[in-house]
Amino acid sequence: MIPSRARFTLLRFAFALSVVTYLDRVCIATAATSIREDLHLSAVQMGWIFSAFTLAYAIFEIPSGWLGDMIGPRKVLTRIVLWWSVFTVATGVAWNYASMLTFGFLFGAGEAGAFPNSSRSFSQWFPTKERGRAHGIIFMGTRPGGALAPPLAVALIAGIGWRRSFWVFGSLGVVWGALWWRWFRDDPAKHPAVNAEELRIIQEGISPQAKNRQIEWKALISANLLFVCLTYFAFGYGLYFYLTWLQTYLREARGFSAAQASLLASIVLFCGAMASIGGGFWTDSWVKRYGLRVGRCGVASGALIGSGLILAVAAVISNPLAAALLIAAAAGVADLSISSAWAICLDIGRESAGTVTGCMNTFANLGGAIAPVAMGYAVQWWGAWSITLLITAGI
């Protein structure tokens, strides 16, 4: 019997979801200048708006991942996508600083758990040997989403204004949520598109799981998990520079136009897309050759150190184009660490994969919550973007 390929349809759903999540996130960064002018906001206030989303994302990440472990990603992901779509649309009707802050927080609370629940669905639908590459593919999707958002948002803002652009981006999630609810099933054995041969492939190396199992927190909370979380904190701090302040930096510190800044921001995120999938193959290859510790930790550590060194050079170099290209390289090298980090969570989390990935991603979003505000204050205090980049490189 030829095996069906329904699990790859799941991968396409997850890839599309990752694109949409970053379309919505980067839209506000692209519209930041227009929002600040329209609502009369300072750089620090805009930094707090960026951070409100990420702080809420961090707060609700573990509960959303845990909920996916308890009731399944079909229900949880549908709720997540519809919620964040509503508040993406609501951002377009914000009238002052307080309303932007509130909508940003509720947007983040809604989107929390999207990636842990995607990962949780993989733990049921993909055999162990395919999970690393599957994660590499979905995180590759986050970067095209982020890369497409700047030019799309610039065009939409020019054509229909920044407010209506949020209505357009928000509608995409509603479509995805409806299709997901109709197609996906938590148990692949209950999906009509999965035949017996594919089910056999899926179940290779997957241990039977009890329904409504309790999370064994004592087994999960360890120094091992703490170091994984700290690794992703460092990654998240850097990532949110690229997602929030990069275009402002390119315009204010390097003298690029809005169109040039959006194009360069897209290049930065496309570099990350290629690196994400490359990092997935890299970590799988090193695990086979050198074992889990080197294959996971070696990739993550090497990528983050290399990224920091490249970003430090970008901070002090005088040529604007060279600085932009070095920033693109730094972002790409950092993204080599993503697949190994998420694969570690499945290695140590097993049946509690949603909860463990939620823990790790919480720290990434804590880094992301701190970064925009810290960068806003750094620019206000010292009037120099180079110091902001050097701090990010050091972290």
45 CB burial (10 A radius; 0-12, 13-18, 19+): middle
Whether 181 shows a pLDDT value over 90: the answer reads yes
% of the chain surpassing 90 pLDDT = 18
Taking the C-alpha atoms of residue 51 and residue 343, their distance in angstroms, rounded to an integer, is: 27
278-320 confidence digits (pLDDT tens): 887 888 888 888 888 888 889 999 999 999 999 999 999 989 8
Name which of 38-42, 48-52, 101-105 the model is least confident about.
48-52
Taking the C-alpha atoms of residue 72 and residue 187, their distance in angstroms, rounded to an integer, is: 9
pLDDT score for 10: 93
% of the chain surpassing 70 pLDDT = 93
Name which of 97-111, 260-274, 281-295 the model is least confident about.
260-274
How far from the centroid of its chain's Cα atoms is residue 317's Cα? 29
- In this structure, are residues 7 and 188 in contact, taking their beta carbons and an 8 Å threshold? yes
Compute how many other C-beta atoms are within 10 angstroms of the C-beta atom of residue 186. Answer: 17
Q: Which two tokens stand for residue 20?
A: 């949409």
Whether 184 shows a pLDDT value over 90: the answer reads yes
* Reported confidence tier of residue 212, pLDDT bands at 50, 70, 90: very low
Average pLDDT over residues 256-267: 80
52 CB burial (10 A radius; 0-12, 13-18, 19+): buried
Minimal CA–CA distance to 14: which of 67, 73, 57?
Answer: 73
pLDDT score for 175: 92
- In this structure, are residues 261 and 245 in contact, taking their beta carbons and an 8 Å threshold? no
pLDDT score for 108: 85
* Reported confidence tier of residue 210, pLDDT bands at 50, 70, 90: very low
pTM of this prediction? 0.71
Compute how many other C-beta atoms are within 10 angstroms of the C-beta atom of residue 111. Answer: 27
- In this structure, are residues 342 and 354 in contact, taking their beta carbons and an 8 Å threshold? no
pLDDT score for 70: 85
Helices within the chain (DSSP H only): 6-30, 32-39, 43-71, 73-91, 97-111, 114-125, 128-183, 196-202, 217-220, 223-240, 246-252, 258-290, 292, 299-316, 320-335, 338-349, 353-382, 385-394
394 CB burial (10 A radius; 0-12, 13-18, 19+): exposed
Whether 351 shows a pLDDT value over 90: the answer reads no
Whether 234 shows a pLDDT value over 80: the answer reads yes
Compute how many other C-beta atoms are within 10 angstroms of the C-beta atom of residue 321. Answer: 12
Q: What is the mean pLDDT of the chain?
A: 83
186-204 confidence digits (pLDDT tens): 999 999 999 988 888 888 7
Average pLDDT over residues 47-55: 82
